[in-house]
Amino acid sequence: MSQLPPPPPPAAPQPARRRRPSAALGIALAFVLAFTGGATVDLVFSGSDDSPTARPVDADTVAFEVGPERTEALPRLDVAAVAEFVGPSVATVMADLGGGRFGAGGSVGTGIITSADGEIVTNAHVVEGATEIRVRLAGETEPRSAELLAYDVGNDLAIIDIEGDGFRPATFVAPDSVRIGDEVMAIGFALNLDGAPSVTLGIVSALNRTIVTESGALDGLVQTDAAISSGNSGGPLVNALGQVVGINTAVARGSATTAASNIGFAISAEEALPILTSLRQQAGGTPRQEGFLGVGLDDRTDGGLGALITDVRADTPADTAGIERDDIVIAIDGSPVEGVAGLIAAIRDLEPGDLTIVTVRRDDELIDLSVILTSRPDS
């Protein structure tokens, strides 16, 4: 059995995210609840508004571990070796739900240990609205009580915590170190099957995907053909070195009018780490505040790229900045906007008070508009 390298020493906290292009899906995908009939894309969403009391966390106590920059091709992925290496950093996450958007019941997903003192990252849809959260670690028979630290529904990320020390944190891949065609493995508690986690092998099929969900849009996604099932949510997609390439979050399913085979999505490490760093700083159990522009949107129908402005609300950042109806937004901070989903995700990833440059096409002229985002209003 091949021997994987040990994790590198902790890296410095991640800097603010770099804006990058995001690609919209070429076909319309609907996002619906798990275990319902006619599902097109299964996000395993469940939750309520009654969250457990959260315990603040000091953002400076620990940094995420990030591997070195990639300088050469990766070796073939040894499934057994990678599973053995990553296994101690993977946990089952179980949540009791007390009603709300998706009703009462329970949720089971997967988590990634990110600090030696018990911080665990998972999907927000696994723990949102939980009245109690429990975690079971590799090799253990009894669950541990966990506390919700912070979550971000729009980015589908959450941080929880268990008591203790000496846990093995996972190592994330360095920025710009993922290539199309890289072999990757998904590991998690698919279908909540008894025993050890399930592992599935595939490749990186595409990068920087954007999809629309009931909670908004997710961008910066890694697309993979590794099988992802209910229960994999929040678990790692790892490369041949055992580094976390992404956090599994969604899978496309066929419908009466579309066919989908082996199309899964993971929130890329490059996308996730800045958001998780922000969640550490804002830990307290309430959702992270997202940027708000104040426009109505539609896709272009003439074959061009960008998002069409159909409405500008009065007294919003868009109105103040001079954005007009029928403008076509083609870039945010210099990075292309390829459709409505891309624009939603780009604004959502920013925060109230951020200054952003919105590039619009108005008639035959390109105009750069400076916009200071605000918080989304309650209504």
Same domain, 176 and 249: yes
Same domain, 181 and 308: no
Residue 132 has a pLDDT of: 92
DSSP E strands in 293-354: the ranges are 295-299, 307-312, 328-332, 335-336
* Position 3 in a domain: no
* Position 17 in a domain: no
Distance (Å, rounded) from C-alpha 290 to C-alpha 20? 18
With a cut of 50, which residues of the chain have pLDDT below it? Answer: 1-2, 7-61, 100-102
* Position 8 in a domain: no
Same domain, 270 and 299: no
Distance (Å, rounded) from C-alpha 173 to C-alpha 222? 13
Distance (Å, rounded) from C-alpha 242 to C-alpha 172? 9
Same domain, 82 and 200: yes
* Position 176 in a domain: yes
Range of the domain at 107: 23-281
The amino acid that residue 193 corresponds to is L
Boundary residue ending a domain (258, 281, 304): 281
Same domain, 296 and 339: yes
Residue 237 · residue 249 · CB < 8 Å: no
* Position 10 in a domain: no
Same domain, 177 and 259: yes
Residue 335 has a pLDDT of: 85
Number of domains comprising the chain: 2
Closest-CA residue to 357 (of 341, 365, 346, 342) = 346
Same domain, 174 and 317: no
* Position 251 in a domain: yes
Please tell me the pTM assigned to this model: 0.71
Residue 349 has a pLDDT of: 80
Boundary residue ending a domain (281, 304, 338): 281
Residue 51 · residue 366 · CB < 8 Å: no
Same domain, 49 and 178: yes
The single residue listed with the structure tokens 């522009």 is 293
Over residues 163-220, the pLDDT tens digits come to 999 999 999 999 889 999 999 999 998 887 777 889 999 999 999 888 877 766 788 8
Q: What CATH number did the domain enclosing 313 receive? A: 2.30.42.10
Residue 48 has a pLDDT of: 31
Residue 5 has a pLDDT of: 54
Task: Please enumerate in sequence order all residues whose Cβ is within 8 A of that of 167, keeping only pairs 6 or more positions apart, or say none.
Answer: 88, 89, 113, 115, 116, 117, 118, 137
**Residue 22 DSSP symbol:** B
Q: Which helix (H) or strand (E) holds 274?
A: helix 269-281
The alpha carbon of residue 375 and the mean position of all alpha carbons in its chain are separated, in whole angstroms, by 21
- State the catalytic residues: 125, 156, 233
Q: Which helix (H) or strand (E) holds 85?
A: helix 79-86
Task: Return the biggest CA–CA distance within the chain.
Answer: 65
* Position 258 in a domain: yes
Same domain, 265 and 306: no
Boundary residue ending a domain (249, 281, 313): 281
Residue 212 has a pLDDT of: 76
Same domain, 53 and 150: yes
Same domain, 126 and 36: yes
Helix, strand, or coil (residue 296): strand
Same domain, 121 and 195: yes
The single residue listed with the structure tokens 């624009």 is 343
